[in-house]
Chains A and B, each alone.
Chain A
Amino acid sequence: MTDRNRDAKNEYATRGDIEQAVESLSSSDELRLEKFASYKTRGLGRKAVYRDHEDLLSEAIKSTWIGAEDPNAGRRWRNKDVSFVQHLLGAMRSIASHWKETVDDCEAKLDSDLTVETEDGEMLSPVENAPSDEPDQERVLIAKEQLAAIFRLFQGDDDAALVIEGIREGWTGTEIIERLALPKNRYEAALRRIRYRLK
């Protein structure tokens, strides 16, 4: 083995390193990973396709395990530069995004396959015009109801309601503080209340 190959090999964790890292997780790390996975899968709603936060955690470790021996098939952990927790968080972000894309692609393909041109030259999409009991519509309805339930939870909490509005706008924490002129301590307290009510 050349020096360069050996160096490249040493940059990544072995399966033994991975097993050891799992055993070394602190209780805070366990909570951090679990809550992250839980919020991520709840955010996917029905796009998670009956998969929950445990599936997301399992997929992340599976991808890491496979990646240790086959970088083309899995996700390699660069253990000299990135902590195990950070690596798993990254893997879960990527997997959740992949799950979402898969559903979006399927819907787009279904839409494109089923779209027909009418005699007037108009493109008619059965998916877009689906009645409300179609799966996609059902999923949207569930998301709508979940959002409504979340807003109701914070009806009497102005700061939390403001923070949620900021998040809906796609703002970062700093932007929420600046744009809404919300003191940092009140923003952080509101975010804690939101996490607490939605945990």
Chain B
Amino acid sequence: MPNNKSYDDELELLMSFLAESVTQMDDSQIKEEYGNGPKPRTKQILRAELSNLRTQKLRKARIEYESATRSLSSQSYDLPPSSSEQRAILSRILSRQPGLASLALTAQHRELRDLSDSDVESFLKQLAALGLLDPFLEGK
């Protein structure tokens, strides 16, 4: 009588043998033996995993972005309350530091007027978090 461990091993041995025997079967044998069963979901499973992997980076970036946004929102900044004043400060910053425009204005927002009020506020908060806003606020 086999000892306790070998029941596990025997089951594995038997099932592995059957698994390997499947790899030796040609297409017609496979269809004959398994063709009448449920339609295989292999492609569907592989596609789903690939889709999951493709979007993984995007999801990670989104989580990081949302976390950074939450962090910015939770801090208080000395920004002017009105959106027109905020927009004026941003305009002033971009005229003095044109290099920052590439950070603030994506390909979708080539013009400052295309930015929403919340985008303007968010960008000013990012500059404030980096300590770059104070010189511009002093002259507000």
Residues on A facing B (Cβ under 8 Å): 18-19, 22-23, 25-36, 39-40, 42-45, 47, 54, 57-58, 61-62, 65-66, 89, 100, 137, 139-140, 143-144, 146-147, 150, 164, 167-168, 170, 173, 191-192, 194-196, 198-199
Contacts and interface: CB of A to CB of B under 8 A. Distances in A.
A28 B5 contact: no
A147 B7 contact: yes
Interface string B43-57: 101111110010000
A35 B46 CA distance: 15
B13 A28 contact: no
A18 to B, nearest CB: 8
Contacts of A30: 40, 42-43
B interface, over-half SS: helix
Contact of A195 (B13, B22, B31, B42): B22
Contacts of A34: 40-42
Q: A-B pairs with the 5 shortest C-beta distances?
A: A43-B15, A39-B19, A30-B42, A30-B40, A28-B27
A26 B48 CA distance: 18
* Interface-central residue, B4, B14, B23, B50, by most chain A CB under 10 Å: B14
A102 to B, nearest CB: 15
Nearest to B32: A192
A39 B18 contact: yes
Interface residues of B, number: 36
A99 to B, nearest CB: 11
17 contacts: A22-B43, A25-B43, A26-B27, A27-B40, A30-B42, A31-B30, A32-B22, A33-B40, A45-B12, A54-B41, A57-B45, A61-B46, A61-B49, A140-B4, A140-B8, A147-B10, A147-B11
A147 B14 CA distance: 9
Contacts of B12: 43-45, 100
Contacts of A32: 22-23, 25, 30
Contacts of A57: 42, 45-46, 49
B8 A45 contact: yes
B43 A62 contact: no
Given A147-B10, A147-B11, A195-B18, 6 more contacts: A28-B27, A31-B40, A34-B42, A43-B12, A45-B8, A143-B8
A36 to B, nearest CB: 5
Nearest to A192: B33
A62 B8 contact: no
Contacts of B37: 199
B16 interface: yes
Contacts of B42: 25, 29-31, 33-34, 57
* Interface-central residue, B17, B27, B34, B40, by most chain A CB under 10 Å: B17
Given A22-B43, A62-B49, A65-B50, A195 B33 contact: yes
B25 to A, nearest CB: 7
B118 interface: no
B21 interface: yes
A30 B37 CA distance: 13
